């Protein structure tokens, strides 16, 4: 259904969405990957860089334990909304310079694990499997969209920017990303602390 919706948004050219079902020890999930060619992107022999947008999550639902979308779904929803918007823009002739690759996975009945203050959304597949299907060698930068409501550090309706985390190092908050976020939202930048102890494993 997701691929069909993206096709309808993209118009006659279609979205080219690739859907791959992967089964793990605790269930299965559908990986979705969409490539939106740019005006001067690598896919057409150009030099504009390729951006990856990855929606990270355990699952969009935790049936039968929880009904409907869970907060963990925000990563997938944001990624797929990005793909739909870029495809619609492309259909109307509003094309970015570089290629954009959007990837996420959809699991409506992901397992959960005990966690305080709310159950932790687990995943039917491990993080290495996610990386194989969601991160490609073509991506020259990756915007990873993740979410959680199971914390007491920041409680904010909207967008918040974490410090940059690279290869296990927690770096300072990016000034350029902070400025961009403030311009896009029209609100002052909201950020929050991240420590190595905050890292929780998938699977």
Both 10 and 67 in one domain: the answer is yes
Global pTM reads 0.79
Examine the fold and report which residue of 113, 133, 150 is the final residue of a domain before the chain moves on: 150
pLDDT value at residue 201: 54
- Tens of pLDDT, residue by residue, the chain (203 residues): 899 999 999 999 899 999 999 998 888 999 999 999 999 999 999 999 999 999 988 788 888 777 788 878 889 999 999 999 999 999 999 999 999 999 999 998 888 877 776 677 888 898 899 999 999 999 999 998 887 666 667 777 788 888 988 877 889 999 999 999 999 899 999 998 888 776 555 44
CA distance 170 to 186: 27
Both 113 and 163 in one domain: the answer is no
Both 45 and 91 in one domain: the answer is yes
Residues 6+ apart with CB under 8 A from 148: 71, 72
Both 138 and 178 in one domain: the answer is no
Both 160 and 141 in one domain: the answer is no
Examine the fold and report which residue of 124, 150, 176 is the final residue of a domain before the chain moves on: 150
Both 162 and 145 in one domain: the answer is no
Both 143 and 159 in one domain: the answer is no
Both 118 and 142 in one domain: the answer is yes
Both 141 and 180 in one domain: the answer is no
Pairing assessment for the beta strands 18-24 and 27-36 based on DSSP bridges: antiparallel
Count of domains observed in the chain:
2
Q: 38 is in which domain, residue-wise?
A: 2-150
Residues 6+ apart with CB under 8 A from 122: 26, 58, 59, 110, 111, 112, 113, 202, 203
Examine the fold and report which residue of 115, 134, 150 is the final residue of a domain before the chain moves on: 150
Both 24 and 94 in one domain: the answer is yes
Both 58 and 100 in one domain: the answer is yes
Angle at CA of residue 174, ends 172 and 177, nearest 5°:
155
Both 128 and 57 in one domain: the answer is yes
- Residues present in the chain in total: 203
């Amino acid at each position: 259904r997701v691929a069909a919706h993206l096709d309808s948004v993209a118009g006659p050219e279609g979205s080219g969405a690739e859907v791959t079902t992967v089964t793990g020890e605790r269930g299965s999930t559908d990986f979705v990957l969409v490539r939106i060619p740019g005006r001067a992107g690598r896919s057409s022999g150009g030099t504009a860089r390729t951006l990856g947008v990855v929606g990270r999550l355990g699952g969009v639902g935790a049936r039968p334990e929880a009904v409907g979308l869970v907060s963990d779904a925000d990563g997938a929803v944001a990624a797929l909304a990005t793909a739909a918007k870029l495809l619609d823009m492309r259909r109307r002739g509003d094309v970015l310079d570089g290629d954009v690759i959007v990837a996420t996975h959809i699991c409506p009945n992901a397992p959960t694990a005990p966690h305080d203050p709310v159950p932790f959304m687990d995943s039917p597949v491990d993080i290495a499997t996610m990386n194989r299907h969601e991160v490609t060698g073509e991506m020259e930068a990756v915007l990873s969209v993740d979410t959680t409501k199971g914390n007491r550090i920041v409680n904010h309706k909207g967008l918040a920017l974490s410090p940059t985390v690279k290869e296990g190092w927690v770096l300072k908050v990016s000034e350029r990303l902070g400025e961009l976020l403030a311009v896009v939202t029209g609100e002052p930048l909201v950020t929050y602390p991240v420590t190595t102890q905050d890292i929780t494993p998938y699977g």
